[in-house]
């Protein structure tokens, strides 16, 4: 299903810290997800060598820094210990922002993330189960403008592990996250952020 431009955003957040983080207002609007976050989702890309890269909303990252599956946490939230969460990531601009005929592309979809206290107001989100879609490294084609990759955090509904709409064989292109959310009862995301990634300079 073709995604429509009805991405809604509000600054009436539950936590003052979220209210003050105006960078969240930069999340792209090319999705039909209603976005009213109550926590700050933090995304970190581990590196094979060197320190990990922390994501700020809208930051552009070199493609080679996104090879390793990111880690996730929430800041200034109060996620109930023992609860479960779903994380999804989609590319809004494939094959190009000017003609996104393949988008959204599903780059990550996983459930059973659990909060673990990490100190300093941070709760790490850990998962030991197999993802429905493992992290797929961003790979914009040569000549394309940078693509937008959005991350969403959802409360996990009962029965999510029994859903049959998406598995390892389901096409990742033209993935309607809004419809999937409605079908499995995810509701609206409680947190999110996004990055920009361009093609490798050697192939651009």
Q: Which pLDDT belongs to residue 200?
A: 82
Q: How many CB atoms lie within 10 A of CB 25?
A: 12
| Per-residue pLDDT at 29 | 66
* pLDDT band, residue 37 (cuts 50/70/90): confident
pLDDT averaged over the chain?
Answer: 86
| Residue 147 forms part of a structural domain | yes
**How many domains in the chain?**
1
Span 26-39, average pLDDT: 77
pLDDT of residue 25: 54
pLDDT of res. 1: 41
Residue 126, domain extent: 40-197
Higher pLDDT, 20 or 96: 96
Res. 10: pLDDT tops 60: no
For position 13, what pLDDT does the model report?
A: 33
In a domain, 9, yes or no: no
Q: How far apart are CA 31 and CA 89, in angstroms?
A: 12
In a domain, 64, yes or no: yes
Residue 52, in any domain of the structure: yes
Q: What is the pLDDT of residues 112-133, one digit of tens each?
A: 999 999 888 899 999 989 999 9
Residue 134 has pLDDT above 60, yes or no: yes
- The closest of 146, 161, 169, 176 to 86, measured between CA atoms, is 161
Residues whose CB is less than 8 angstroms from the CB of residue 21 and which lie 6 or more positions away in sequence, other chains included: 40
Confidence of residue 15 (pLDDT cuts 50, 70, 90): very low
For residue 7, is pLDDT > 80? no
The pLDDT assigned to 128 comes to: 84
Closest CA to 91 of 6, 7, 196, 167: 196
In a domain, 15, yes or no: no
| Model confidence band, residue 23 (pLDDT cutoffs 50, 70, 90) | low
Residue 33 within a domain: no
**C-alpha distances in angstroms, 58 versus 107, 126, 167, 194, 202?**
17, 24, 29, 6, 23
pLDDT in tens, 183-194: 999 999 999 999
> Is position 58 within any domain?
yes
List, for residues 50-107, the tens digit of each pLDDT value. 999 999 988 999 999 999 999 999 987 789 889 999 999 999 999 999 999 999 999 9
Q: In the prediction, which pLDDT does 9 show? A: 34
Per-residue confidence (pLDDT) for residue 197, from 0 to 100: 97
Q: Which two tokens stand for residue 86?
A: 């779903």
| For range 21-30, the mean pLDDT | 58
Whichever domain contains 101, its CATH number is: 3.90.280.10
Residue 22 lies in a domain: no
């Amino acid at each position: 299903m073709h995604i429509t431009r009805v991405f809604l955003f509000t600054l009436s957040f539950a936590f003052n810290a979220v209210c003050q983080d105006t960078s969240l207002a930069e999340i792209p609007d090319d999705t039909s997800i209603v976005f009213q976050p109550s926590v700050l989702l933090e995304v970190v890309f581990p590196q094979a060598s060197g320190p990990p890269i922390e994501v700020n909303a809208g930051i552009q990252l070199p493609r080679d820094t996104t090879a390793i599956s990111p880690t996730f946490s929430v800041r200034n939230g109060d996620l109930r210990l023992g609860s479960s969460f779903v994380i999804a990531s989609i590319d809004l601009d494939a094959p190009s922002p000017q003609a996104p005929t393949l988008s959204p592309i599903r780059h990550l979809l996983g459930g059973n993330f659990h909060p673990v206290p990490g100190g300093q107001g941070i709760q790490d989100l850990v998962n030991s189960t197999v993802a429905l879609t493992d992290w797929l490294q961003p790979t914009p084609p040569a000549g394309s403008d940078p693509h937008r990759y959005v991350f969403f955090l959802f409360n996990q509904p009962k029965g999510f592990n029994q859903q049959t709409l998406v598995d390892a064989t389901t096409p990742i292109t033209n993935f309607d996250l809004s419809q999937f959310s409605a079908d499995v009862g995810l509701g609206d995301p409680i947190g999110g952020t996004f990055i920009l990634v361009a093609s490798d300079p050697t192939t651009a």
